[in-house]
Copies of this chain bind each other. A is one copy, B any other.
Amino acid sequence: MQLQHPYLLFLGDAADDLAAKTAAGVAQWRPEWCVGQLRLPGCNTSLDLPDMTLEEAREAGARTLVVGVANRGGVISEAWQQTFLDAIALGYDVAAGLHQRLVDIPALRAAADREGRLLADVRHPRDRFGVGTGEPRTGRRLLAVGTDCSVGKMYTTLALEAEMKRRGLKADFRATGQTGIFIAGSGISVDAVIADFISGAVETLCPANDDDHWDIIEGQGSLFHPSFAGVSLGLLHGAQAESLVLCHEPERLHMRGLPNQALPGLQECMDLNLACARLTVPQPRFVGIALNTKRLSPEQAERVLKETEDRFGLPTVDPVRTGVAPIVDRLA
């Protein structure tokens, strides 16, 4: 499934910035693909994009209406549906990453069928995958792994792709979650794949490539998260990544969503990832650490970055504050 850009970002009636964080991510990383935003009455957030009607954006070249808003439960609000129907009538594809599928709403499905437009439910893989093989394949690959969910793996890998491209390296971000798929225009939401096919799906996502080509693979979850570790392990095995980057948020008190579950230590987390990665890569190695220091003052952040770098002997960055150049230096 390949999404057609440019995009018009649909913010709907997003209650706050957080509700529109998917749209914000797309606007940040692919501004050249975003012609504008579409907001409905009640919308309490805005991106740095012009407000447009469906018609205006279509004239400006938009080909896909990207649903960049989430609400509780991940359902498609009835308040949005007329906009989606109008978009389909105007020739848009509609793409969403919600729990509820666009294709399961009969009126949308009928309209899309009639107009020959794509309804892209990027959270719900439609392809059938084979089981993983673990067979060695050409090309170079880097995977972000984490001590926890939502510690900055997507941001880190996107920053690495950008920095590598800036240096003229052949690099492609490979998306494994909804927002990443909108940003890449394609990808596989690996946590929504049938369990048997996790590693096989990832092998499909980042197949054999040129010897000097890098796939920079978005991580998901953590081997230490009791809810999602199976996804993380299948991703690790399927990625066959010679290079790993550890992502971590120093101030986090417990595993996301689980107040009684402590975070692993960084060394412990690297050790287990390396031990498991060796199943499909002869000599995996960590090439850097990405800390999310957003809760720290600049001085605190500087100190924790330096302490971590000294302790592990690995380039340690905050992709937002410092960029990721030292990690790319290590790769080269």
Contact present for A226 and B261 (CB under 8 Å) = no
**A229 is an interface residue with CB less than 8 A from chain B:** yes
A237 touches B226 (CB 8 A): yes
CA A193 to CA B193, docked complex, whole Å: 9
For the complex, is A227 an interface residue (Cβ under 8 Å from B)?
yes
Confirm or deny: A192 has a beta carbon within 8 angstroms of a beta carbon on chain B: yes
Q: A258-B133, A261-B134 known; A230 and B231 CB under 8 Å? A: yes
Instruction: Known contacts A233-B233, A258-B134, A260-B135; decide if A226 and B194 are in contact (CB<8 Å).
Output: no
With A233-B233, A272-B275, A275-B272 in contact, do A227 and B192 touch (Cβ < 8 Å)?
no
**Residues of B with C-beta under 8 A to A194:** 191-195
Q: Mark A226-264, 1 if CB is under 8 A from B, else 0.
A: 111111111101100000000000000000011011000
| B-contacting 9-mer, from A15-23, A196-204, A289-297 | A196-204
Instruction: Note all chain B residues with C-beta closer than 8 A to A257.
Output: 131
Q: For the complex, is A100 an interface residue (Cβ under 8 Å from B)?
A: no
Q: Is A214 an interface residue (CB 8 A)?
A: no
CA–CA, A306 to B9, complex, Å? 67
Band of interface residues on A:
35 or more
Q: A62-91, CB under 8 A of B: which get 1 and which 0?
A: 000000000000000000000000000000
Interface residues of A in 207-230 (CB under 8 A from B): 223-224, 226-230
Known: A132-B226, A196-B231, A229-B276. 18 other contacts (CB 8 A): A134-B226, A134-B258, A135-B258, A135-B260, A193-B195, A195-B198, A196-B227, A196-B228, A198-B230, A199-B227, A223-B276, A224-B279, A226-B279, A226-B280, A230-B232, A230-B237, A231-B234, A272-B275
Residue pair A195, B199 in contact (C-beta under 8 Å): no
Q: Which B residues are CB-close (under 8 A) to A226?
A: 132-134, 199, 237-238, 279-280
Contacts of A223 in B (CB 8 A): 233, 276
A residues whose Cβ falls under 8 Å from a Cβ of B: 131-135, 190-196, 198-200, 223-224, 226-235, 237-238, 257-258, 260-261, 272, 275-276, 279-280
How many angstroms between the C-alpha atoms of A276 and B133 in the bound complex? 23
- CB contact under 8 A between A195 and B191, given known A134-B261, A227-B132, A258-B133: yes
Separation in Å of the A200 CB from the closest CB of chain B?
A: 7
List B contacts of A198 (CB < 8 A): 195, 230-231
Nearest residue, chain B, Cβ from A260: B135
The answer for the CA separation of A232 and B198 in the assembled complex, in Å, is 12
Residues in chain B near residue A195, CB distance under 8 A: 190-195, 198, 230-231, 234
Please give the distance in Å from A95's CB to the nearest CB on chain B. 20
| Complex: chain B residue closest to A268, CB-CB | B275
Query: Which residues of the other chain, B, contact A231 by a CB distance below 8 angstroms?
Result: 195-196, 198, 230, 234
| Contact of A134 with B227 at beta-carbon distance under 8 Å, contacts A233-B233, A275-B272 already known | yes
Q: A279, B229: Cβ atoms under 8 Å?
A: yes
15 A-B residue contacts at CB 8 Å?
A131-B228, A133-B226, A133-B227, A191-B194, A191-B195, A195-B198, A198-B230, A198-B231, A199-B229, A199-B230, A224-B279, A226-B280, A229-B279, A272-B276, A275-B275
